Structure 1
């Protein structure tokens, strides 16, 4: 396989999400360097990534003896929990849609270009697609309160829950509001990458697999599969991801047990190492 280029930060986030999240531990910087080296990331790039993430409040430093460890902050914990939900809970295939839509309409002053851009970006991340003008739609009950409140736009936004009338061609509406060819291309690329021989290193393979799957689904609005084109590649891609992830989990954790130096993430915690084990 020829692996696509992934940012070191994305790979490190997958490492932290798999072995640090919700365990109240921090990881030795040398372990991070060794782990990322198995993924083709240089020591310089690994150290620079740790420094940048700490500066952006995604990591905090914790010294144990002469070693520097890194732990999660509230910000990175929220990011990783959101990613975990998308990867392992909601998934990419919406086969239990209840037939409802969330409609959001907004009207902003012409001079509010930045606010308009920020709102559109966050709506796209939340699964919305532009139907026409300032009207956006998302399948099911999409969360909007945090987006609207966070941008201070409550006075300019209206949200409704609705069902499409029988006169509406839902498949055509989806095609108008969403970039289906672009979504399909992401899944086809994932299938082309992983539907074959798996690299010999299960630790590196699993982290790269999760990172590439997250990249494939991150902008997928989970459209109702019944209204998607026949043989939607997201179905095959999700099946392949789950099969490979399950097969790689045990051998990857066996490698991690000897690779990762984890310590309790407390200022005055004991100096005994925490051995990696499955949650």
Structure 2
């Protein structure tokens, strides 16, 4: 189970050493961003895209043909994409597994605000104890918890703002018997802002927003004529990298001038400007076919 690792857009595997220098997108993450933009967002999940079209689009953001082909094969083997042959051409579409992961990503990107103004004072606490030999399963659990807004209060006790429904994710990992979940409020003796600073690396989260905002504000200010498909693919990938470790902490407990809101405004400005041009270009550029029930 590495589903939510694919939403980490960085190149390499240094998951604990993020810097504010911006992401180095991985071909697999860009691939899913492509399918999210041009299949899932179009409301037609039962659609397959010709490999040549995928090579063309990802080439616009610097991914070479061989990297695209090897990524497609790897994602098919992981159950994230399905293949469908039409004559001499090979087409690729989303599997239910990839659709679920992209659906979660779509909620974070397009439906949830980057600033949590509606916190009701509750917290979700999750405690777990796993055998030392379960390193892979421990990593998978921590990946899901981080994506869901949790931070490590202590080594085996994680906390997230609000009432987070994490039971389904825990069950998918087969860890229900090893996890206990509680919903509670902090006692008046608890210094919530100190707890937040001890639990989450706010400087790192803020630096991501600042980096994103500077990069894309400069893009808006430039007289750039780059193609909207490539721009939108980079935009969504970088925004996902920016928000993926942000637990959406209560606004009232964040430092003054928290940079998430201006960065989000910039994201939506560029997204709105590129949405229709990218959609029109995709209609001309992408070779697609309906998914057959017998797809292997």
Q: Same fold (TM over 0.5)?
A: yes
Distance 1:111 1:48 in 2: 31
Distance 1:124 1:190 in 2: 20
Distance 2:183 2:39 in 1: 38
1:208 aligns with 2:208: no
Structure 1 window deviating more from structure 2 (102-111 vs 20-29): it is 102-111
Q: Is the 8 A contact 2:22 2:211 kept in 1?
A: no
Give the 3-state SS of the residue equivalent to 2:123 in structure 1.
strand
1:239 aligns with 2:265: yes
Deviations 1:7-57 (A, max 9, x none): 121111111011112401110111001111111211111112111111211
**Would you say how many aligned residue pairs link Structure 1 and Structure 2?**
268
Distance 1:9 1:116 in 2: 23
Name the counterpart of 1:180.
Answer: 202
Distance 1:174 1:97 in 2: 14
Distance 1:81 1:112 in 2: 28
TM-score by length of 2: 0.83
| Structure 2 counterpart of 1:57, from 79, 97, 103 | 79
Structure 1 gaps of 5+ residues are 270-279
Name the counterpart of 1:272.
Answer: none
Residues 109/202 of structure 1: CA separation in 2 closer, same or farther (3 Å cut): closer
Name the counterpart of 2:14.
Answer: none
Name the counterpart of 1:18.
Answer: 37
Residues 71/170 of structure 1: CA separation in 2 closer, same or farther (3 Å cut): same
Structure whose alpha-carbon radius of gyration is higher: 1
1:9 aligns with 2:28: yes
1:129 aligns with 2:151: yes
Distance 1:218 1:203 in 2: 22
Residues 257/148 of structure 1: CA separation in 2 closer, same or farther (3 Å cut): closer
Residues 90/155 of structure 1: CA separation in 2 closer, same or farther (3 Å cut): same
Give the 3-state SS of the residue equivalent to 1:148 in structure 2.
helix
Structure 1 window deviating more from structure 2 (225-234 vs 16-25): it is 16-25
TM-score by length of 1: 0.88
Give the 3-state SS of the residue equivalent to 2:74 in structure 1.
helix
Q: Is the 8 A contact 1:125 1:219 kept in 2?
A: yes
Structure 2 gaps of 5+ residues are 1-20
1:222 aligns with 2:241: no
Deviations 1:202-245 (A, max 9, x none): 11101110111011111211111111111111111111111110
Give the 3-state SS of the residue equivalent to 1:15 in structure 2.
helix
Give the 3-state SS of the residue equivalent to 1:20 in structure 2.
helix
Q: Is the 8 A contact 1:190 1:216 kept in 2?
A: yes
Residues 166/8 of structure 1: CA separation in 2 closer, same or farther (3 Å cut): same
Structure 1 window deviating more from structure 2 (174-183 vs 37-46): it is 37-46
Shift of 1:121: 3.3
Shift of 1:148: 3.1
Q: Is the 8 A contact 1:62 1:267 kept in 2?
A: no
Q: Is the 8 A contact 1:187 1:237 kept in 2?
A: yes
1:166 aligns with 2:188: yes
Shift of 1:112: 5.2
- Structure 1 residues 50-199: aligned runs within 5 Å: 50-108=72-130, 115-198=137-220, 199=224
Deviations 1:138-189 (A, max 9, x none): 0011122123333444343322111122222211111111111111111111
